[in-house]
Amino acid sequence: MIKTDIIDHIVRELINAERERLEVNKFVDEFPELDMELAYEVQERLIETKCKEGNAKVTGRKLGLTSRAKQEMMGVHEPTYGVLLDNMQLFEGEKISLEPLIHPKIEPEIAFIFNKEVKGPIVTVTDILAATAYIAPAMEIIDSRYRNFKFTLPDVVADNSSSSRYLISDRLTPVSDIDIRLMGMVFKKNGEIVTTSAGASVMGHPARAVAWMVNRLVKKGQSIKPGEVVLSGALSEAFSIESGDHFSVSFDRIGSVEASFTN
Ligand code: OOG
Ligand code: MG
């Protein structure tokens, strides 16, 4: 198959899997040419198609696999990124239906909300913080379209880094006098602590993960735009969700956010 046909094929399979709640086999076996470069091309086409056919709009971006806990859990050793769309956004207080999801997991994240453009190729932690209007507690619901949530790095990149839903607290905090590295995090499931972490678990500094992405986006002529949000990547491993579950993430200094799930 020629390259554009491979891209189209994978995009169709991934969109269909999400719509029909089906797991698909990873693509690297069928298409050995699926390297990281091609995978990001698939991701780009996937997002274009979703925007066109599903009338979705880009709200920001997400990092994936930025903490050692996540890399070990998924058996990969490099971060990835993906795109957030308006139809992925959830709001505080709403019950979240598991009905449209395949095998969702939830993870604690830090959201960056930008009020300035940030463009690579040599963006640093300081540049990211200078362009950040607010940070906020967040949770991401990931839902890999791959069978048993198993994939290689190019597979997960093609699948928009497992993006499914995201939830950001309405409490926004200016980043100015906060050392995000030292912000402790407590993650609870049904009232019990399931894991704890701190900002530094994300590549030493969550803003470093954001800078890493921005410096790669420039190869595609892309940047973070004012008003966009970026999720740092999970500070811990992810947890499977069942109907009736309630999760909360609390951070030092910036507050907490909660999510309740139903059928
Ligand atoms: C890939 C997405 C990882 C994170 O925060 O680490 C991610 C996956 O684990 O399925 O969103
Ligand atoms: Mg995540």
For ligand 1, mutation pick of 67, 140, 236 (most atoms within 8 Å of CB): 140
Give the number of other CB atoms < 10 A from CB of residue 39. 23
Residues 6+ apart with CB under 8 A from 20: none
Between the CA of residue 116 and those of 72, 127, 132, 169, 216, what are the distances in Å?
34, 10, 7, 21, 18
How far does the centroid of ligand 1 lie from the alpha carbon of residue 34, in Å?
A: 19
Whether residue 32 is preceded by a cis peptide bond, meaning omega within 30 degrees of 0, is no
Q: Helix axis angle, 3-20 relative to 36-53, nearest 10°?
A: 60
For ligand 1, mutation pick of 162, 236, 241, 249 (most atoms within 8 Å of CB): 162
User: Counting atoms of ligand 1 from 1, which one is nearest the CA of 238?
Assistant: 9
Ligand 1: which residues within 6 Å by Cβ?
Answer: 64-65, 70, 74, 107, 140, 142, 144, 156, 161-162, 233-234
| Cα gap 145→153, rounded to integer Å | 14
| Cα gap 121→68, rounded to integer Å | 25
How far does the centroid of ligand 1 lie from the alpha carbon of residue 65, in Å?
A: 5
pLDDT tens digits, 80-103: 999 999 999 999 999 999 999 999
The model's confidence at residue 237, banded by pLDDT at 50, 70 and 90, is: very high
Residue 136 is predicted with a pLDDT of 98
Residue 52 is predicted with a pLDDT of 98
pLDDT average, residue stretch 189-194: 98
Residue 166 is predicted with a pLDDT of 98
How far does the centroid of ligand 1 lie from the alpha carbon of residue 203, in Å?
A: 14
Q: What does the mean pLDDT of the chain come to?
A: 97
How far does the centroid of ligand 2 lie from the alpha carbon of residue 71, in Å?
A: 11
pLDDT tens digits, 132-142: 999 999 999 99
Which residue's CA lies nearest to atom 10 of ligand 1? 162
How far does the centroid of ligand 2 lie from the alpha carbon of residue 77, in Å?
A: 15
Residue 245 is predicted with a pLDDT of 98
| Cα gap 204→64, rounded to integer Å | 15
High-pLDDT (> 90) share of the chain, % = 99
User: Counting atoms of ligand 1 from 1, which one is nearest the CA of 79?
Assistant: 6
Q: Name the closest ligand to CA 74.
A: 1
The model's confidence at residue 249, banded by pLDDT at 50, 70 and 90, is: very high
Nearest to 208 by CA among 82, 72, 83, 67: 67
The model's confidence at residue 239, banded by pLDDT at 50, 70 and 90, is: very high
Nearest to 123 by CA among 214, 59, 188: 214
3-class DSSP state of 38: helix
Residues 6+ apart with CB under 8 A from 216: 81, 120
How far does the centroid of ligand 2 lie from the alpha carbon of residue 250, in Å?
A: 16
For ligand 1, mutation pick of 76, 142, 147, 148 (most atoms within 8 Å of CB): 142
The CATH number that domain 3-262 falls under is: 3.90.850.10
The model's confidence at residue 41, banded by pLDDT at 50, 70 and 90, is: very high
The model's confidence at residue 207, banded by pLDDT at 50, 70 and 90, is: very high
pLDDT average, residue stretch 138-147: 98
